[in-house]
């Protein structure tokens, strides 16, 4: 009798302690459990907190390095505009730090000069300024989501889990790569370097003279493309290469 009544509180205390252990171990589950996957983009700094949510890319998350920076480089960072070498009004839009350093992006809020200028129809405020084409609605929507998600500096690895390169389609695989990273500079009436990349025929011509791959691989003897930002991912380069090897179909 006496032994039982002594044991009861011990059991209760033990159960409470066990309960606390279980809940606290849940609370302290590491947020990051994934093992660092092979990162072919070169953005993965092991000293940073690694955000594995980017691998594989979540369709609901906007990744600055992969989705926003190419838009800015391709539409804003031409020489004489917002490039690294001669940024107009000191506004350099070629890295995350520089973009945020302008103080013109308001994380979480659809206000501020950056958001207002890409949505403006006033020719004195509008960015990119006429005669350059305004950003497309898709690009503006992506930027909107990026701002609302906190204007973070996220990277995803489009090649995570393998980069499919079989049966490349010009329309579904190649054109989107060029649209994201190249066409802002290589289209219109006065394309940069006199080079168009906005039609199948023009891309084939650049592939046949070797400049398309040479420039994106940054091979010696070619001018590195895109001229600012992070460069194309290995997966995108492999896809361009595969499309060329597969006969540059207009499919």
Q: Whole-number minimum distance, CB 83 to ligand HEC, in Å?
A: 7
Q: Do the Cβ atoms of 186 and 192 come closer than 8 Å?
A: yes
List 73, 91, 135, 154, residue binding ligand HEC (CB under 6 A):
73
Distance CA 67, CA 154 (A): 10
Q: Is 227 a residue that touches ligand HEC (CB under 6 A)?
A: yes
Based on the number of CB atoms within 10 Å of its own CB, is 26 exposed (0-12), middle (13-18) or buried (19 or more)?
exposed
Q: How far is the CB of 48 from ligand HEC (least distance, A)?
A: 26
Entry field: residues in the chain: 251
* Under rule CB under 6 A, residue 132 binds ligand HEC: no
**How many CA atoms are closer than 13 Å to the CA of 78, on its beta-carbon side?**
18
Name the one range near ligand HEC by CB under 6 A: 10-18, 110-118, 125-133, 181-189.
181-189
CA distance readout (Å), 235 to 162, 179, 239: 9, 16, 6
> Which of 65, 152, 151 is closest to 114 using CA atoms?
151
Task: Single out the residue of 226, 235, 239, 243 in contact with ligand HEC (rule: CB under 6 A).
Answer: 226
Would you count residue 65 as binding ligand HEC (CB under 6 A)?
no
Binding mask 13-52 for ligand HEC (x = CB under 6 A): ----------------------------------------
Q: Candidates 104, 112, 145, 222: give the one binding ligand HEC (CB under 6 A).
A: 222
Site for ligand HEC, residues 229 to 248, rule: CB under 6 A: 232
Say whether the peptide bond before residue 33 is cis (omega within 30 degrees of 0). no
187 binds ligand HEC (CB under 6 A): no
Residue 133 near ligand HEC by CB under 6 A: no
Please say whether the beta carbons of 118 and 135 come within 8 A: yes
- Contact of 71 with 135, CB cutoff 8 Å: yes
Q: Which residues bind ligand HEC (CB under 6 A)?
A: 73-74, 77-78, 181-182, 184-186, 192-193, 195, 197, 206, 211-212, 215-216, 222-223, 225-227, 232
């Amino acid at each position: 009798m006496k032994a039982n009544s002594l044991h009861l509180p011990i059991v209760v205390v033990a159960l409470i302690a066990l309960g606390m252990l279980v809940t606290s171990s849940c609370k302290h589950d590491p947020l990051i459990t994934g093992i660092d996957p092979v990162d072919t983009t070169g953005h993965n700094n092991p000293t940073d907190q690694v955000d594995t949510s980017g691998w594989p890319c979540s369709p609901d998350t906007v990744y600055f390095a992969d989705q926003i920076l190419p838009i800015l480089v391709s539409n804003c960072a031409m020489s004489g505009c917002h490039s690294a070498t001669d940024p107009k009004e000191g506004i350099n839009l070629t890295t995350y730090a520089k973009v945020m350093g302008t103080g013109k992006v308001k994380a979480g809020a659809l206000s501020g000069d950056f958001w207002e200028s890409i949505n403006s129809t006033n020719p004195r405020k509008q960015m990119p300024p006429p005669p350059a084409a305004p950003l497309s609605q898709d690009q503006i929507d992506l930027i909107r989501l990026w701002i609302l998600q906190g204007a973070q500096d996220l990277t995803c690895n489009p090649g995570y889990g393998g980069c499919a390169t079989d049966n490349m389609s010009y329309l579904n695989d190649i054109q989107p790569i060029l649209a994201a990273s190249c066409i802002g500079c290589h289209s219109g009436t006065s394309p940069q370097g006199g080079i168009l990349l906005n039609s199948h025929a023009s891309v084939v011509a650049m592939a046949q003279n070797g400049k398309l791959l040479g420039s994106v691989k940054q091979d010696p003897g070619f001018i590195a493309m895109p001229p600012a930002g992070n460069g194309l991912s290995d997966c995108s380069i492999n896809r361009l290469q595969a499309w060329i090897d597969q006969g540059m179909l207009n499919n």
